[in-house]
Structure 1
Amino acid sequence: MSTKLQLFTGLWLAGVVVTAKPVWAIPMVSQLGTPTTTVKELVSQAATPQSLIIINRVQANPTDKGVELILQTTAGEQLQITDRRAENSFIADIPNAQLRLANGDDFRFSSQNPVQGITEITVTNFDAKTIRVTIAGAASIPIVELLDSPQEGLIFSIAGAVASTPSLQPQAEDPQREIQAEQPSTQGDQPIELVVTGQQDSYSVQNAATATRTDTPLRDIPQSIQVIPRQVIEDQRATQLNEALRNVSGVQPSNSAGRTRDRFVIRGFDDFNSVIRDGFKENTSAYRETANIERIEVLKGPASVLFGQLEPGGVINIITKQPQAEPFLTMGLEAGSYGFFRPTVDFNSPLNDSKTLRLRVNASVEVSESFRDFDKETSRFFIAPVLAWDIGDRTNLVFDLEYLKDSRPFDRGLVALGDRVADIPFNRILGEPFDSKEVEDLRIGTRLEHGFNDNWKLRSALRIVSTQTSSFVTEPDSLDEATGLLSRGFGVDRPTPDETYAFQTDLIGKFKTGAIEHELVIGFDFNRQTNFVDDRRSAPAPAIDIFNPVYLTAKPNIESDPFRGLFAADNIGIYIQDQIKLAENLKLLIGGRYDFAEQSFLSIVDGVKFFDISDQAFSPRIGIVYQPITPLSIYTSYSRSFAQNFGIQRDNSRIEPERGTQYEVGVRGEFLDGKLITSLAGYQITKTNVATPDPADLNFSIPVGEVRSRGIEFDIAGELAKGWNIIASYAYTDAKITEDNTDINGNRVNRVPENSASIWTTYELQSGALQGLGMGAGLFFVGERQGDLSNSFTVPGYTRTDAALFYRRDNWNLGLNFKNIFDVNYIESTTSRTSIDAGIPFTVIGSLSVKF
């Protein structure tokens, strides 16, 4: 007796149906059942795997709806399908199988343009034990829904299509599905059992867009990149970006500007612009909101080739949620220690019957009190509507908006005394109770993508950001260590507008030169940022005793001359990149970018121009990936970065931009059928042309400074077994100032621990009366760090322990998270001897969500 695995490719807006069933009962589309609503409805009978499956016949038969693709094999074998969709293609891998066709072509079956909307169907031996089936859509990737028919078994049905989205946006949110079909050990004409396991809660992500501006498998990228999926953010209740990034090697929090914004050190280099959103660099003075984050992609090493001037450590790309074809409403509530209260809403709905117009809205409100003295309140409101419109088969348009209003206490934290952090309570503030900062952010964007044909498309995006910031703060100055008195000053910043206008356009094409495949990206981007500083005032503040503080009872009225000025920065970049497939297991990535950058600051009060600089720079990248076996990639790469320099030499000439150069080698592995992804990387980054004081005249600079960072990083993420997820990391970072003509020469870079590590794992019961009950636990270790560039004080290392309990059943999710269980006193980050951020104490957060 024989069975056939069919992939029925039908067209409901370029739809696809995949079905596994006995060979003698091939269904038509009209015979298919209705969509199932639960995974349990898909189970029919049981079986066990035996040996390698041989596919000896492949047919593509036209039907009234599309085309049937039939793969013929013998009965009694294990069938397993893993969805590996990418861009416009539905891709299914069948492990434990081999293609041996009777026509003499043992390795490939192909059908070109079998039906309108499908450009090609291929069946190939991906490796010695895996068959890959690829169904390429003309302009869209299908949305897969599960169908169940009593006669035909399980069916993957594509009842609609999602138009191609910009590559820096997430693809369809439908979970990865795995289908297993096993034959009972007893003989007879019994139907095949099909077990479906959803992967929506998996920690492994196999594709990313940040490294190449195209949706590229991680295994093909010759540079270290880690992805934090939405599930990790939810499992850890990460309401701030720095909580999620604890899971990534080589990333540490940096200067938080008095606990009011995100900033990070990556591979030893600190950069305010290292956080980007959907591929756009952005300047914000507030903590990013996590409610609408789909995933976070962290690209290590120089990224100037695609994003312009940056520090050489890397970039953190926030990928936001996008509208989906199927309607849903998710309502959540989080509440916990220190008055924390945070309701959230995630609403998604198609706006017409054809689902070509779709809307998604994420919103959150947060109120909380600080663990620091005086229980000062934080309040946030966030809303992010996104509208997607499939204008045609090859054209789609997305409009998005984000609005955030954030009000929170300004708090510079603790101070150093001698060579360590002062021994004072971790909740003591050294500012004033009325210190605060308010930020109002508005982002408006649009993205347009048009496919000229199956191989070439144009993608353009526009982003406008407007930020209003106001604050009243008490800034620490210096500490008299003999008396314990901390001198301070007041600062008032009236509402000041900060605006950014950014535009990107890419031409992306696929072509061949002989047997060599290319994916070419040619792009242009423009970014203009203006910041109008209006009525910024300062005045002396009374000193405070750090051991016995006495605070003011009222906010003073500061009367001083205002400072007004206009900062402007313009950046234009032109870049080209080619991803070259020299062979199935050998890939080359090569690219370069040329930047034109200008910055200026003009005083509006007296017309003095503080600086006006203009630079040009070329940033290359080249890397190669070799895959000796399918799940293993070995790579090496070379890349450069640039950042403008503000130093002036004695002859009044400008110092050329700082340049970062990285050499990296690494190994990336995919195990357990791609459910577990590991990476190991070694690198050296050298930043040169750093401005240092001129010994002959300290009013000027010379370009002799150099910073070097060497390190080894290990990351692992994915599913160890059914229901058991893990994400872990380790980083060894040796970051030093290797050349400087001052006394900091040879010092370690501040905020950078030599050793850091993390592990977070969850397990969820898969069956029985307690099915859906789970628990999680995590350890986050950060080693000893230097508190400033002078290495004048040391910040001790720490290990923080977190845990979670949760219960998931049907559309309900109930959770309890415990952060810093052992209430360890630890330092999050430092800015200077008088600005040291203490970490959170023991905290409990309860959560409840329901999806309709």
Structure 2
Amino acid sequence: MNQPKALLASIITSLLFTPLTSFAEEPTGKLKTVKVEANALGNTTEQTGAYTTGSMNTATKMDLSVRETPQSVAVITSAQIEDLNISTINEALDTATGITVKRTETDRTYFEARGFDINNFQVDGLGTPLHWDLLEGDIDMALYDRVEIIRGASGLMSGLGSPAATINLVRKRPTAETQASLNLTRGRWDDTRAVLDASGSLTSGIRARAVVSEQSKDSHLQDYHKDLSTSYGVIEADLGLNTLLTAGISRQKSEADSPMWGALTLTYLGDDGKTYMTNFDQSMNSSADWAYWDVQTTKSFVELDHTWDNGWNTKATYTRTKTRGAQELLYVYGTLNEDMSGLGGWAGKFDRETDQEQFDLATTGSFTTGSLSHQFVVGFNQAESDLQERALYDYTTGNGFPAIDNMATWTGDTPHPTFNDEEPGSAITDKQTGAYIAGQFSLSDDLKLLAGARAARYNSSGSSYGAAQATNEDVVVPYVGLTYDISQQLTAYTSYTETFTPQTELDAQLDRLAPTTGVNKELGVKGEFFDGLLNTSVAVFATELQDFAIQLGFNEETGKFYYGGADYESQGFELELAGQITDQLKMTLGYTSLTVDDHQGEVARTFTPKQSLKLSASFNPEWQPALTLGSFVEYRSDTYLRGTVIKQDALTLVDTFARYQLNDHVAFGLNLNNITNESYLTSFEYAQAYYAEPRNISGSVTVKF
């Protein structure tokens, strides 16, 4: 075992297997024991200060604790978001166990778990897969209480999607008590952010909340600038003792100047005819000075929640999401020579609109048979998404731009293109209708079966850049899990989950490929300590992606590529610890080890670290209760792109923070990121990348009214 592996193993072993009684003992003159309070945590994390949650329902819609859920689950809480000064979903998921945030371009991001891309994003448990499996722009975290993560397939609730993971962003809700806060942050590269959050009762039985966030920042990348603004309003009203009506709307704008479409070329051809890896300055940007990437998203929702006299609950939810994207972009491509010549440019102008509507109706409740209690959920949902995209290019002078003489001195100063060549673009309508049923059934006091299924019908019509998107599928997706309470604190579990994704690619006979099926098999042990204030888990998993379309050749008669279905499998081990260790110490620790094999049995997706460790810690010293100190540490093993010279050595990233509570109303914060000033690439899956942020610092002040 090499030194990094030995260090990781030592940390993992000591944290996981140290007897919990040792945490509860009173170290002489240092830390106090944890104060355990009954039902200390619920499913809302704000104002709890916790690094875990009491319950979550992303996997099944039933409010189960982390320990009761027979899958690897995690939560990024309000306290973690505040401690690490997290402002966007990308920054949040950077801290999550087993999640890789792939910043392939400045304003288009891919996410990965267990070796596969994540496309299942939800808000309050509802969502449809991201178009093209990526996120455009960013998501401001100001209006969210927490992020819940289910690693592995989760088709019971989502139906469609990859077997990688499901990301559920949970909105903040109104509070009965009046509260208001203003947070101001200032950081390197003129990064300025302000967040105003106010909540409280308007009249008896009516509560409201409003959140407004504005951020403007330059970048370590030359000429790159981004503005992110968000507004959110929500109101809820008690319609009698047992019925709650909630309605809300949010709007977000992400506006970027000089963004990258594609990124830096990572290889060049030497004078000796050999290929070498490039080494640009960290500030290098391949964009043009006229380029922009704007995305505006409006989300509205209405919920009606009723609790019946027998304690069962029925909830109906309608959501609508409208997104408008507008971009003018420059793509730099070609074979780079040793003298930094050889590249050219290709310009594109895009206008895109998506309109998604969803409806969900679910009833949940519990019942008993003899002395055993059970939970049950049954529901129906429907989703429809319309995508319209127009694409224009500049072909007036070849590909629109002459060769770039010297990429090393590129400043983005190039003429504005003439966009008059129109491509077919995209016009796609997706519809999904599904019914689901599941239950947690107690087979004995210690043994519980969690079983369910989703029956779904999926239809797609339209075209994307000349390729037909017609799809019709009827599927049944099973969900099976088993938990056994080894003791009052430990539970063993196993689960089998599935998901599916229709495909539009054609095989050599011009028949459409079967849907991609995702399968997750998992076995693990979970621990719940200090009445749920601390959760631990160890899991082994095998995640399969079956019949995934890969390009096999080109049909000259049809003028199109043809595809075949291939299987991939990832196997690995995960460990996670999240919560409160003592009165003074909170942490999350996550370790992942995985390998991915392709359909030929060869190691695949080598751009994903085989090993990663993430540690967030917050320490509130007894000798200075107003002071909080903490850090985030991430270790990634070495990565490379198979068949190329592109590689990145193992690296360790370290952030640190300090916060001082001056009084009940005012707190100051200081965050220092990448303190070792590591220079590394964001992601190179597509043989392009750019450099991540070097060392930077930010300061903040929070005022509560």
Pairwise TM-score range, normalised by the shorter structure: 0.7 to 0.9
Q: Cα–Cα, structure 1 residues 791 and 222, in superposed 2: closer, same or farther, change >3 Å?
A: farther
AA of the residue aligned to 1:377: H
Query: What is the Cα deviation at residue 650 of structure 1?
Result: 3.0
Which residue in the other structure is 2:219 paired with?
370
| Structure 2 unaligned residues grouped into runs of 5+ | 1-24, 26-32, 269-274
Q: Which range moves more in the overlay, 424-433 or 530-539?
A: 530-539
Q: What pairs with 1:639-658 in structure 2 (closer than 5 Å)?
A: 639-658=497-516
Q: Which range moves more in the overlay, 414-423 or 798-807?
A: 414-423
Query: What is the Cα deviation at residue 713 of structure 1?
Result: 0.8
Pick from 245, 259, 267: which aligns with 2:106? 259
8 Å contact kept, 2:34–2:582: no
Measure the CA separation in 1 of the matches of 2:238 and 2:645: 59
Q: Cα–Cα, structure 1 residues 550 and 337, in superposed 2: closer, same or farther, change >3 Å?
A: closer
8 Å contact kept, 1:747–1:790: no
Asked which structure has the greater RCO (Cα within 8 Å, sep 6+), the reply is 2
Which residue in the other structure is 2:654 paired with?
801
Query: What is the Cα deviation at residue 526 of structure 1?
Result: 1.1
Which residue in the other structure is 1:290 paired with?
141
Which residue in the other structure is 2:364 paired with?
508
Query: What is the Cα deviation at residue 711 of structure 1?
Result: 0.8
8 Å contact kept, 1:420–1:795: no
Q: Cα–Cα, structure 1 residues 536 and 572, in superposed 2: closer, same or farther, change >3 Å?
A: farther
**Superposed CA offset, 1:643-701 (max 9, x none):** 11222123332211011111101111123443321111110011111223446958454
Measure the CA separation in 2 of the matches of 1:424 and 1:843: 20
Q: Cα–Cα, structure 1 residues 172 and 761, in superposed 2: closer, same or farther, change >3 Å?
A: closer
Are residues 1:269 and 2:116 paired?
yes
AA of the residue aligned to 1:435: A
Question: Partner of 2:136: helix, strand, or coil?
Answer: coil
Q: Cα–Cα, structure 1 residues 244 and 312, in superposed 2: closer, same or farther, change >3 Å?
A: same
**Superposed CA offset, 1:219-270 (max 9, x none):** 11111101111100110011122222233221101255x2114431011111
Measure the CA separation in 1 of the matches of 2:143 and 2:123: 11
8 Å contact kept, 2:483–2:492: yes
**Superposed CA offset, 1:764-788 (max 9, x none):** 2345xx431121122111222234x
Measure the CA separation in 2 of the matches of 1:832 and 1:814: 41
Which residue in the other structure is 1:336 paired with?
187
AA of the residue aligned to 1:308: G
State the identity as a percent. Answer: 22
**Superposed CA offset, 1:293-336 (max 9, x none):** 11111101101121011100111111111111100111110111
Question: Partner of 1:233: helix, strand, or coil?
Answer: helix
Are residues 1:279 and 2:125 paired?
yes
Measure the CA separation in 1 of the matches of 2:538 and 2:120: 22
Question: Partner of 1:372: helix, strand, or coil?
Answer: coil
Which residue in the other structure is 1:780 paired with?
634
Are residues 1:826 and 2:680 paired?
yes
Instruction: Please report the RMSD computed on the Cα atoms of aligned residues, expressed in angstroms.
Output: 2.5
Are residues 1:414 and 2:261 paired?
no
Query: What is the Cα deviation at residue 575 of structure 1?
Result: 1.1
Pick from 427, 437, 440: which aligns with 2:296? 440
Q: Cα–Cα, structure 1 residues 86 and 578, in superposed 2: closer, same or farther, change >3 Å?
A: farther
8 Å contact kept, 2:277–2:645: no
Measure the CA separation in 2 of the matches of 1:620 and 1:444: 31
AA of the residue aligned to 1:249: T
Q: Which range moves more in the overlay, 529-538 or 446-455?
A: 529-538
Which residue in the other structure is 1:837 paired with?
690
Measure the CA separation in 1 of the matches of 2:319 and 2:523: 35
Measure the CA separation in 2 of the matches of 1:86 and 1:772: 23
Pick from 398, 414, 432: which aligns with 2:246? 398
Measure the CA separation in 2 of the matches of 1:519 and 1:779: 39
Q: Cα–Cα, structure 1 residues 733 and 542, in superposed 2: closer, same or farther, change >3 Å?
A: farther
TM-score by length of 2: 0.88
Query: What is the Cα deviation at residue 813 of structure 1?
Result: 1.5
Count of matched residue pairs: 652
Question: Partner of 1:561: helix, strand, or coil?
Answer: strand
Q: What pairs with 1:341-356 in structure 2 (closer than 5 Å)?
A: 341-352=192-203, 354=204, 356=205
AA of the residue aligned to 1:266: A
8 Å contact kept, 2:350–2:390: yes
8 Å contact kept, 1:710–1:733: yes
AA of the residue aligned to 1:450: H
TM-score by length of 1: 0.73
Which residue in the other structure is 1:107 paired with?
none
AA of the residue aligned to 1:486: L
Which residue in the other structure is 1:464 paired with?
320
Q: What pairs with 1:99-110 in structure 2 (closer than 5 Å)?
A: none
AA of the residue aligned to 1:542: P
**Superposed CA offset, 1:28-77 (max 9, x none):** xxxxxxxxxxxxxxxxxxxxx9xxxxxxxxxxxxxxxxxxxxxxxxxxxx
Are residues 1:574 and 2:440 paired?
no
Q: Which range moves more in the overlay, 699-708 or 822-831?
A: 699-708
Question: Partner of 1:654: helix, strand, or coil?
Answer: coil
Question: Partner of 1:392: helix, strand, or coil?
Answer: coil
Q: Cα–Cα, structure 1 residues 504 and 790, in superposed 2: closer, same or farther, change >3 Å?
A: farther
Query: What is the Cα deviation at residue 395 of structure 1?
Result: 0.8
Question: Partner of 1:824: helix, strand, or coil?
Answer: coil
Measure the CA separation in 2 of the matches of 1:278 and 1:560: 41
Are residues 1:847 and 2:696 paired?
no
Measure the CA separation in 2 of the matches of 1:171 and 1:785: 38
Measure the CA separation in 2 of the matches of 1:747 and 1:722: 45
Measure the CA separation in 2 of the matches of 1:401 and 1:790: 48
Greater strand content: 1
Which residue in the other structure is 1:543 paired with?
403
Are residues 1:636 and 2:483 paired?
no
| Structure 1 unaligned residues grouped into runs of 5+ | 1-48, 50-77, 88-169, 176-199, 740-744
Which residue in the other structure is 1:161 paired with?
none
Q: Cα–Cα, structure 1 residues 561 and 628, in superposed 2: closer, same or farther, change >3 Å?
A: closer
AA of the residue aligned to 1:447: E
Measure the CA separation in 1 of the matches of 2:103 and 2:187: 26
Q: Cα–Cα, structure 1 residues 364 and 302, in superposed 2: closer, same or farther, change >3 Å?
A: same
